[in-house]
Structures are given as C-alpha cells and as structure tokens.
Structure 1
Amino acid sequence: MFEFLLNEEQRKLRDEVRELVAWVPRQLILDMDQDKVTFPKEFLAEAGRRNLMGCRYPRKWGGRGLDWVSTCMVMEEVGVLGYIFACVFGVGAELVCDAIIQHGNDEQKERYVKPLLAGEIFAAECLTEPRGGSDFFGTTSVAEDQGDHFLLNGQKRFIVGAEGADYFLVYARTDPDPKADPRQALTCFIVNRGPGVEVAYLYGLMGCRGGGAGRLVFKDVKVPKANVVGSVGGAYKVFNTMMIPERLGTAAMTIGAAQPAVDVATGYSTRRKAFGQPINQFQGVSFQVAQAVTLLDASRAMIYATARAVDAGEDQNHTRRLISQTKKFVTESCQQAAHHAMQVMGGIGYTNVFPVERIVRDLRLASIWTGTNEVMSMIVAHEWYRAYHQAKTSAPRDFEADALEAESGEKIYE
C-alpha cells in the first residue's frame, strides 16, 4: 500500500478493512476453493455490518461519501483474502449498486442499495450470454412490453453470484426491430429472484471458486416497470458508466490478490537453504522477487493515478483509455508477479502446501473477465489515436522535423 497517498480518514478505513480480513475464518477460504461453500453470504453480511461496502456512495444510501482512491484501497485490501472474495464483494457493492446509484431512482436505491450495502441482501450483474461476452450489443435476451410489466426471456452465462444473489441487474433487448439502433434497443432491469429465474448450471472453475458462478435462465419472468434502471432503451448509458467500477475495481483487487504470493515466496526464500545458504542469496532467486515487487508497485502507481483522474472528473475519453490501460497492465503484471513467486518456490509452490498455486489459478481470471485484455487494447488504441489527432495541432514543436534528413524527400507513404 502507498501510505503517502492516503489521508487520515482513508488510513482508518484501511485498518477497518484489515480487521475484516483478519476476521475471515481460514476454513471459509479452504471450503470455497473446494466448492463446499458456493457463495460466501456470511462474509458479505459481515462486510455490510461493518459498513465497508460501497464506500464512495452517499451516506444517505449506506456508503461513506468517499472517493475512488478510497475504493481502490478497499478493493486491494479485500483482495488479499483471495480474488474471489474481492469479486463477490465488488460485483454487488461496486457494480450493481453503481448502476442504481447513478441511473436509478430513490425508491430503487432505498429498496436495493441500502440493504445490499448493509449486508442484508446480495446482488449479481447479468451481462455475458452463451453466444458471447464482449459483444454487448449482441444481447439476445428479450424483454417484451406487456403494459404494466415486461416479460423477460433469455440466458446469462458466467454470472458470479448466480447462486446466492437475491436480485440481478439484467440487460435485455426491448426493441424487437433487428434494424434498430443498438444504442437504443437495450434496457437495464432489476430482476428479483423468483418464479421463472433458474440457475441452470454451476461451473467447475479452474480458480475463483465459491462465488456461485453459474448460468441463469429467465423464463417468462414478470419484471415490473418500476424496475427499469434509467429509461427504456437506455442500457447503453448504464453500461458505459459501469465500465469504470468494473475495470478499475478489477485491477485494484488483482494487486491485493497477488501480494500474498509474493509475500509467501519472499519468506520462503529467506528460510529455504541450498548449497549451504538461504536461496535469496542467489541472484536467480532474489532478482525474481525484485521483479515481482517492481511489477506490483508499478501497478499501484497506475491504479492510484487513474483513480485520481476519475475523481478529478477528467475528460471521459481520456479516462476510458486510462482505465483500459490500467486493467490490462495491472492484471498481466500481477499474473507475472505470481508466476515469479511460484518459480522462486520451485516444486513446493506447485502443491497445496502453500497458497501460491491457488493464487496463480485465481489470478488467471483477471485478464479475461470484465472485458478481455484484448478488448482493452482495442480501446486504448482507439482512444490514443483520437487523442493524437486532437493534440497534434497544439504540440509544442514538429518533432518529425528534428531529423537530419527530414527534408530529403524519402517520406513516401503510398
């Protein structure tokens, strides 16, 4: 943690989160990884009881009125328990609540946000479908207008909290015209668990187990019109704003999840002896630890710089690029840091004698979910070229001209 970035209130909050982390039973971590616990309701209830979820939301709705720097700090601290703990913590309190806080009405905030942040109910976001994940506009779930309600039919896949959530944030098509502008054809709904909502399948995951990830099927589910988030046809606006908590929060919690692997490997390297001395005396070992630490600190620097940009209300296109860069760089750096940790430990790191193998398995999800890192690269490239063309006219000098043969006539582009 970068102490110098936190004020007194944020340090106090950090200490509160660390108390929560210390409270979590070891057996819960083990049982979740073995799928004996399919959704950690007791953990979320305790986090809510301590008023640790959704710290950047107004106090009126159960938050603490803080900022994104505070949120990233909380996500990092929760992540040390394991990536899945931060996943379930963030999906409800940072994603679903964010959509309702920003786009919902007071009645929805009272009914769905306050009890969730208090740890009394739980929520999940339903975006990915069986036919694809990154193609938001390709949504095939349909909600038909029935006058006083919508009738929802469709399926959602890889939903963290499918098993355990009390309500779901669901994106569905409300304009049946296949030629309709996709930016106006989808609507965001709050869907209560009830008749017609079925968990059809729970996934056997490589890592991040115990979060109730499953496939949801909606069969003729009656959704009251009062449960539309924002406006009918306005899902794109909701989706756009949710990319901030979804991707920035994901990056922050990845640092927390990777840190224990580096800590364990560091301690191991000071105790394990070979050739008559601790193995951290060998550059082949200590340099890997140094590289892992450097990657984590570089990730933190990127996280908190981006968080401050969001808090400052930076240009939306610039923020979009920063968040996408951050998500890609941090998740890949943390995976690499965990790889170094396992390499330092050798064969014992590949067993469940130490938690490093679980951490490596868990972190593999980070570069896939909330938008693959390839999608992040597409966004970065798009926004960088946009920014380049906009800034070109105001550059302090023509850098291209600063070459000896700049006027040689050799600049041929076609």
Structure 2
Amino acid sequence: MKHLYLADDHEIFRKSLRKFLEKEAYPYYEKWEEERMIPRSFWTKMGEQGFLCPDLDEEYGGSNVDWGYAVVINEELERVGSGLVGLGLHNDIVVPYINSYGTKEQKQRWLPRFTTGELITAIAMTEPGTGSDLANIKTTAILDGDHYIVNGQKTFITNGIQSDLVIVACKTNPNAEPKHKGVSLLVIERDSPGFSRGRKLNKVGLHCQDTAELIFEDCRVPKENLLGEEGKGFLYLMEKLQQERLVVAIAAQVAAEVMYNQTLDYVKSREAFGKPIGKFQNTQFKLAEMATDIEMGRAFLDQLIAEHIEGKDVVTKVSMAKWKLTENARNMATDCMQLHGGYGYMEEYEIARRFRDIQVASIYAGTNEIMKTIIAKNIGL
C-alpha cells in the first residue's frame, strides 16, 4: 500500500536509511540485546547520516523536512527491533518540546547537538506512585534565587541511563488549584548537582533499550532551564502527547507487519503430517485474520498520519489508533508464536523477541484504558 503522505524523495530516503541499518544495526542487534544497551556510537552514526531530528531547521543542524521523513525513520527502526524505540523518543517526542517551547538561547544551546547524537534526550513524567495521573506528580521544583531546587523520583524513563538532557515534569507550585496548573517543565542536564540515576531496570522485553530510575535530591537547576512558562507544563504535555501516541501506533503497526510476514514464510515451509502447516484450515484462517487486521490498520493509520502532518487535531483518532493497533499487534504476537510451535518459544527465532517486546505497547504513552477514556469523553460520554 502506498502511503498517502510519502513522495519519491521519501522512498529514496528510506532506501538510504535501510542500507545504513543493514550495515550498522541488523548485524549487531542481538549483541545489543545481550549487552542491554545500544552503544552511543550508533547514535552518532545516525546523526552523521542525517537520521536524527531531520525536521529541525537547517540552522540547528536539521534538514527542515516534513514529518513524513520521521515516519520512515520510525518504521525502519522498528523493522530492526523494538528496542530502538529510544531514538524515536529522542527525535519525535522529546526534541519537539525544545523546538516548540524553548527560547532562542535554549534552541541554539541544545538543538544542534541533538542532531549529531552528541546529546541524548529523555522525558521524565512517570513516578513510582504516579503514571497517567500527571496532575498529581510529587516531584517539586521550588525557586531559590537563580535556581530551582528539585526533589523527587522518576521511573520507567526511556534513555534513562544514557540521556544527557532530561525534560522533567515537576510541581513548581505544589499548592496550585486546580492541581495541573502547578506543573512545569524543567530541562535538567547530566552534570546537574543532586541529579543521579537509580537502577537500570530489568524489563521483560526491549532489552537493549536502557530504562532507568532518576533521582533528584536538592538538585540545583538554573532558572534559565525552565521550558516555556511556569505553570503551563501540563498543557504542553497534553499538546505533545498526540504525536507521542502516534509514534507508538506506527511502531505497533510495523511490528504486526513484520510478525505476519515472518509467520507466513514459516507456515509455507514447515511441514507436519506430510504437508506444509499453511495448508491446514486453522492456519489459513489465522493468517487471513492477521492479513485483514494489518490492511485495515494500515489504511486507518496512513490517513491519520496524513491528517497529523496537515496540523489537524486528531487526538480522538490517535487514541483509537494507539489502543487498537497495539492490541492487534499483541494478539498477533500470541498467534504467531503459536503457529511457530515449539520453535516460537526458542530465542533464536525472532518471534520470541517480538512477543516479549510488544507487550509494553499497550502500557506506555498512556495505557489503553486511558485511551478508551479519552475516546469516550470526546464522543460525548
């Protein structure tokens, strides 16, 4: 299916990126999984080739291209493996906050180093006791002269170990009513006094993606590192979550397509009772269901991406896509593993990794239950 928002230049870009990944990512991915880390050298190589933040203005090291290029990057990274999600988070979730809400000085200081891979970014919203309820975060940032004093903890932070710059959601006014008006965003850099990393978390899947706890103990942050206006952090988060959830939906759709194609090939070659298992009706029905879900998912997703690129407010549809496509992919992972039989449970078969990795897609960037709550509200319930 031809994507509605892609032209010939995008496909030339895709071929270039795919060739790069075939050399620099595919041969090393299993090693990265075993080492539980993607090397920083891969980030800098991505930057050298123009695959980091290409939509930024040229003055900041970007190529000033449309978001279709970002979609291509996210799709091709997912084809390698879901553990590369941290690069998509850097490109399309964290950096847009700086680009949209940062001052001229902040942009000049940070954006060029984002495009080279010199600075790896993260965003810290989730806390040990607070997930989707962002208005009730406990991390505080109290202004003291020329610095904010930050205290609190964050957890499940993608790029948590390697990040050099973290956008932290915190309460600059803990007594604000309503509570969300007390939330602000601070940019906290690696060497800030009082900022430390906690555990590198041992996850079920996404093994090569570093996820960590962040700890702030009387962490001193220059007031110049406030992002946007004080008290507007919650609004900024709501504005940017549309694109974050769309990135998750894109990854889920691609993961489903990869699992389907791998399983289709497998059932054509694996024989049982004297014939390929693809000749059995149960197998045919399962693959027919997968093929249909993939085509319908892709049609909806492509239309949605096109509307997002046009700048439309598609929060409701994005919520639909995020929950439905991640659910499709999770169900497909189970069926694909079953069709692989005992081999599906073996680590040397990619379907085992895909089965592990896809589970979290229904949890992060807002749980699927939250997505349904948003949809219900927006349809008038």
Q: TM-score range by the shorter chain?
A: over 0.9
Q: Which residue of 2 aligns with 1:267?
A: 265
Give the counterpart of 1:145 among 143, 146, 154. 143
Asked if structure 1 preserves the Cα contact closer than 8 Å seen for 2:54 and 2:115, the reply is: no
1:352 aligns with 2:347: yes
Farther-moved stretch of structure 1 (127-136 vs 90-99) = 90-99
Q: Match for 2:58: what amino acid?
A: R
Distance in 1 (alpha carbons) for counterparts of 2:69 and 2:298: 13
Asked if structure 2 preserves the Cα contact closer than 8 Å seen for 1:341 and 1:356, the reply is: yes
Q: 1:153 to 1:376 in 2, by over 3 A?
A: same
Q: Deviations over 1:201-244 (max 9, x none)?
A: 11111001122111110111111111111111110222022202
Give the counterpart of 1:340 among 310, 329, 335. 335
Distance in 1 (alpha carbons) for counterparts of 2:82 and 2:251: 7
Asked if structure 1 preserves the Cα contact closer than 8 Å seen for 2:124 and 2:167, the reply is: yes
Distance apart, 1:39 and its partner CA: 3.9
Asked if structure 1 preserves the Cα contact closer than 8 Å seen for 2:134 and 2:180, the reply is: no
Distance in 2 (alpha carbons) for counterparts of 1:69 and 1:334: 23
Q: Which residue of 1 aligns with 2:185?
A: 188
Q: Which residue of 1 aligns with 2:8?
A: 8
Q: Deviations over 1:70-128 (max 9, x none)?
A: 3223211210111110x111121111101011111122122222211221221111010
Distance apart, 1:329 and its partner CA: 1.0
Distance apart, 1:62 and its partner CA: 2.9
Q: Which residue of 2 aligns with 1:78?
A: 77
Q: Which runs of 5+ in 1 are unaligned?
A: 387-414
Distance apart, 1:5 and its partner CA: 4.8
Farther-moved stretch of structure 1 (287-296 vs 225-234) = 287-296
Q: 1:61 to 1:73 in 2, by over 3 A?
A: same
Distance in 1 (alpha carbons) for counterparts of 2:317 and 2:181: 27
Q: Which residue of 2 aligns with 1:394?
A: none
Asked if structure 1 preserves the Cα contact closer than 8 Å seen for 2:25 and 2:80, the reply is: no
Distance in 2 (alpha carbons) for counterparts of 1:17 and 1:337: 27
Asked if structure 2 preserves the Cα contact closer than 8 Å seen for 1:150 and 1:222, the reply is: yes
Asked if structure 2 preserves the Cα contact closer than 8 Å seen for 1:72 and 1:303, the reply is: no
Q: Which runs of 5+ in 2 are unaligned?
A: none
The TM-score with structure 1 as length reference comes to: 0.87
Greater C-alpha radius of gyration: 1
Asked if structure 2 preserves the Cα contact closer than 8 Å seen for 1:61 and 1:110, the reply is: yes
Asked if structure 1 preserves the Cα contact closer than 8 Å seen for 2:199 and 2:212, the reply is: yes
Seq. identity, %: 27
Q: Match for 1:72: what amino acid?
A: V
The TM-score with structure 2 as length reference comes to: 0.94
1:165 aligns with 2:163: yes
Q: Which residue of 2 aligns with 1:396?
A: none
Q: Which residue of 2 aligns with 1:223?
A: 221
How many residues get paired?
380
Q: Match for 1:201: what amino acid?
A: R
Q: Which residue of 2 aligns with 1:65?
A: 64
Q: Which residue of 2 aligns with 1:47?
A: 46
1:150 match: secondary structure: strand
Distance in 2 (alpha carbons) for counterparts of 1:336 and 1:42: 35
Farther-moved stretch of structure 1 (22-31 vs 111-120) = 22-31
Asked if structure 2 preserves the Cα contact closer than 8 Å seen for 1:40 and 1:211, the reply is: no
Matches within 5 A, 1:373-388: 373-385=368-380
2:214 match: secondary structure: strand
Q: Which residue of 1 aligns with 2:311?
A: 313
1:367 aligns with 2:355: no
Distance apart, 1:140 and its partner CA: 0.5
Distance in 2 (alpha carbons) for counterparts of 1:254 and 1:53: 21
Asked if structure 1 preserves the Cα contact closer than 8 Å seen for 2:337 and 2:351, the reply is: yes
Q: 1:228 to 1:242 in 2, by over 3 A?
A: same
2:379 match: secondary structure: helix
Q: Deviations over 1:163-188 (max 9, x none)?
A: 111110101100132x5332321110
Q: Match for 2:12: what amino acid?
A: K
1:44 match: secondary structure: helix
Superposition RMSD in Å = 1.8
1:180 match: secondary structure: coil
Distance in 1 (alpha carbons) for counterparts of 2:213 and 2:115: 25
Distance in 1 (alpha carbons) for counterparts of 2:290 and 2:66: 28
Q: Deviations over 1:378-408 (max 9, x none)?
A: 001111117xxxxxxxxxxxxxxxxxxxxxx
Distance apart, 1:3 and its partner CA: 5.1
Q: Which residue of 2 aligns with 1:299?
A: 297
Q: 1:300 to 1:55 in 2, by over 3 A?
A: farther
Q: 1:65 to 1:26 in 2, by over 3 A?
A: closer
Q: Deviations over 1:361-381 (max 9, x none)?
A: 000010000000000000011
